[in-house]
Structures are given as C-alpha cells and as structure tokens.
C-alpha cells in the first residue's frame, strides 16, 4: 500500500496550510493523519449542523454528525495528531439552506438529494470560505473517496479508487473555482486500506461504523409528517388510464419505483410511476410503465467547458446506481436533454444526474423532468 502522498499542490508541504473537515469518522481522521505525516500545516474544523430536535435520542446517537460522541472523537483525533481544532456552529445556515429545501422539494412532489445541496452550499462554499478567510487555509481537505487531477486547463474530478465507495457523484455540483482549492487524501485508497492506515496511525476510530447519508434525521417520513404536515394531503391513487384505485397518505411518503406500502389489491404488481403534484395524485402502473429513456437536466455544473454539440457519456442517476450509456444534447450552458440508450426505471425529478467519460466526472445537474 503506497503511503507517499502526492496532491500535486503548487507549494511544498511546509509552506502549505490545509484545513481538514473532520467528522469524527475514520475517513476524515486518516485524511488528517496523512497530511500531518506529509509535513503540511494542518488544522481541523468540524461543522455543527442542525439536527431534528424531535429525533428519538437512541436513534440520534446513530445519526452521523454533530452528536456528542462524534465531536468528542474528532477532538480526540485532533489532540492525538497535535493539530488545532475548531467546532463551527452552522446550524441555522444548514436549516435554511438544506432542511428547508428538503421540505419544500418533498412538498412539491419531488425527491430531493439534500447531501448534494449541503456539499455545494455549506461544506464547499461556507466552510471553504471560512477556512480561507478565518484560518488562513490554502486548501480544504475532506475524507471523500474521490481524486483530483490538476492540469493547466483546470482541475479534473476523478472517481475514487474504491469503486464501491466512490463519491464523485456527490461532488459533481462543486464549481470548478471551488474544486481547485480542495484535496481528497484518501481518494486513492479502498475502504479496507483506509481502516488499515487508521490502525497504523493508532487512531481509535479505525473500526468505527459507516455513516448514513441523511444526517439530520433517521426517519424522513416521520420528519416530514412533523415539519411538513400542512403540505401533506391524502389524495387519489390513479392507474395510467386515470382510474382511481385507492387513496394515498400524502405524496412525500412515496418514491418513483416503489411497490410496497401502496395498500392496493390488483391482479399484477403495481409500482409508483409518477407523483402528480398538480392533482395531488399518485400514478401507478405495471413494471413495464416505469421505463423512461430521456430526461431534462437543469442547473448543470460543468467541470469541463460546456459542450455546444451532443456528446457521448455514461450517466449515473443515483449515488449507488450503475453507469448508463447516454447522449447529452445541450439546450443551454446550464441545461440539457439526456437520452439514454435503454429505458431506465428510476428517473426521478429532484435527484441528480451526473456525467462521466471513463474515470473523469464531467459535471452534473438536477433532473427537472422525465
């Protein structure tokens, strides 16, 4: 396992200050340890995010961020590495930017991805700015499983070496001007190798369990039932011909492709085909009706010069989804039609579609319609 760290940064380690976003987990802890070992001037920072005050206490301990245990772990790692540590309260910014967006999107019949918004607006906007202005940072490092290739034309975002942990999808909406100030010290390793490094460094978090994506609640349906109750109304369940088959509890409780929990009795299996917010109707149909072969993407963040002609890519429509061959037909510098070679079952407005050519991430946008 290669231990020599090469981030291709413009100045030598002794002249470079890197702030590490610490979570108390193994990935960010190893990132910090590697940078210290390489001779960089390292400082640790942790964001105190908003957490649902109505969350069950036992479940909240399993919540991934901002618990007392997580902060204690991060502080202990910083002390062990002999680096300064700050805890920054961004709970109100997070609530306004991420949580309110999450509630609004679900209330509008869309399925949001709050982690992408958090990365773009909080972690790599506010936190990067804070690290630069308040802590004198040249770069911000995180424990993401992704890699960067610095070229004269800009920074290329590459998939992480561990295909099962690759997080380039979650970083695709970071603008190029922000990306050039980031580094990902564990992106060249697999998860088992990162745990082995943690044991080598003597970090007590080496065997710490994985985190989950949704950090501010452990049950989004219960969360929406409390925080968006006024926007959740029962309505009709319609088949694709418009016949009413039953009643739903509220559109935010359903997702495209869902089969279980519909409360319907039918001669064939039925799936959620569409959330029709205008009619407050849940549209269901057979599996064959799920397939869609094109979508329109908006708010596209290109990490390459925006194409002015169709290009071939592979595209991911979920963090854990496979790559699907597709063509991108530009509509503007920030919007495009994406045509897939074969129909897909899980194209969902509100989620992100991310574009690749080989190991390079070209950018991504939000699925506006299918």
Look up the CATH number of the domain holding residue 125. Answer: 3.40.50.620
> Of 259, 287, 315, which one is at a domain's C-terminal end?
287
Tokens at 369, concatenated = 């319609």
Strand order of the β-sheet with 235-239 is: 244-248, 235-239, 281-285, 271-276
pLDDT at residue number 10: 66
Note whether residue 168 is domain-resident: no
CATH number of the domain that residue 253 is part of: 2.30.30.280
Residue with tokens 């969360």: 223
C-alpha to C-alpha distance for 111 and 103, rounded to whole angstroms? 10
User: What per-residue confidence (pLDDT) applies to 212?
Assistant: 64
Please indicate, yes or no, if residue 172 is contained in any of the structural domains: no
Is there a single domain that holds both residue 64 and residue 191?
yes
Tell me, yes or no, whether 352 lies in a domain: yes
Among 272, 287, 302, the domain boundary falls at 287
Contacts 24+ apart (CB under 8 A), 248-251: 248/282, 250/224, 251/106, 251/109, 251/275, 251/277, 251/280, 251/282
**Are 196 and 72 contained in the same domain?**
yes
- Per the domain annotation, does 65 fall within a domain? yes
Does any domain span residue 224? no
Look up the domain containing 358 and give its range.
290-369
Q: Which residue among 66, 118, 183, 361 is the active-site one?
A: 118
* No. of helices (H) and no. of strands (E), the chain: 11, 17
Q: What are the pLDDT tens digits along the chain (370 aa)?
A: 444 566 667 677 888 999 999 999 999 999 999 999 999 999 999 999 988 887 765 454 444 566 778 899 999 999 999 999 999 999 999 999 999 999 989 888 888 899 999 999 999 999 999 999 999 999 999 999 999 999 888 899 999 999 999 999 999 999 999 999 999 999 999 999 999 999 999 999 998 887 666 788 878 888 888 888 887 889 999 999 999 999 999 988 898 889 988 989 888 899 999 999 889 999 999 988 888 999 999 999 999 999 999 999 999 999 989 999 999 999 999 999 999 999 998 899 999 999 999 999 999 999 999 8
Write down the catalytic residue from 65, 66, 215, 361.
215
Q: What is the pLDDT of residue 314?
A: 98
Q: Domain tally for the chain?
A: 3
**Catalytic residue flag (residue 215):** yes
Cβ contact 99:50 at 8 Å: yes
Consecutive H or E run containing 27: helix 26-38
**pTM of the prediction?**
0.90
State residue 57's pLDDT score. Answer: 52
């Amino acid at each position: 396992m290669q231990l020599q760290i090469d981030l291709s940064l413009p100045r030598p380690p002794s002249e470079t200050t890197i702030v590490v976003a610490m979570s108390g987990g193994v990935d960010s802890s190893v990132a910090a340890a590697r940078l210290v070992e390489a001779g960089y001037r390292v400082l640790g920072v942790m964001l105190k995010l908003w957490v649902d005050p109505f969350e069950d206490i036992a479940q909240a301990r399993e919540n991934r961020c901002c618990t007392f245990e997580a902060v204690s772990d991060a502080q202990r790692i910083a002390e062990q590495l002999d680096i300064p540590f700050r805890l920054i309260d961004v709970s109100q910014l997070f609530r306004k930017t991420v949580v309110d967006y999450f509630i609004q999107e679900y209330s509008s019949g869309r399925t949001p991805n709050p982690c992408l918004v958090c990365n773009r607006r909080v972690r790599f906007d506010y936190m990067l700015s804070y690290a630069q202005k308040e802590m004198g940072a040249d770069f911000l490092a995180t424990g993401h499983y992704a890699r960067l290739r610095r070229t004269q034309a800009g920074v290329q975002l590459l998939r992480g070496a561990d295909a099962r942990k690759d997080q380039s999808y979650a970083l695709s909406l970071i603008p190029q001007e922000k990306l050039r100030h980031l580094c990902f010290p564990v992106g060249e390793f697999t998860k088992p190798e990162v745990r082995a490094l943690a044991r080598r460094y003597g970090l007590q978090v080496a065997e710490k369990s994985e985190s989950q994506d949704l950090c501010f609640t452990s049950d989004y349906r219960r969360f929406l039932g409390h925080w968006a109750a006024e926007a959740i109304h029962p309505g009709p369940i319609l088949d694709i011909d418009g016949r009413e088959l039953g009643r739903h509890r509220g559109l935010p409780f359903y997702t495209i492709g869902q089969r279980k929990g519909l409360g319907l009795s039918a001669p064939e299996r039925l799936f959620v085909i569409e959330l029709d917010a205008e009619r407050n109707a849940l549209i269901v149909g057979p599996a064959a009706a799920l397939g869609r072969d094109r979508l329109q993407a908006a708010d596209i963040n290109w990490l390459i010069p925006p194409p002015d002609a169709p290009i071939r890519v592979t595209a991911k429509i979920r963090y854990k989804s496979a790559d699907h061959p597709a063509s991108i037909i530009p509509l503007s510098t920030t919007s495009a039609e994406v045509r897939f070679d074969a129909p897909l079952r899980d194209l969902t407005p509100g989620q992100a579609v991310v574009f690749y050519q080989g190991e390079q991430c070209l950018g991504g946008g939000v699925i506006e319609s299918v």
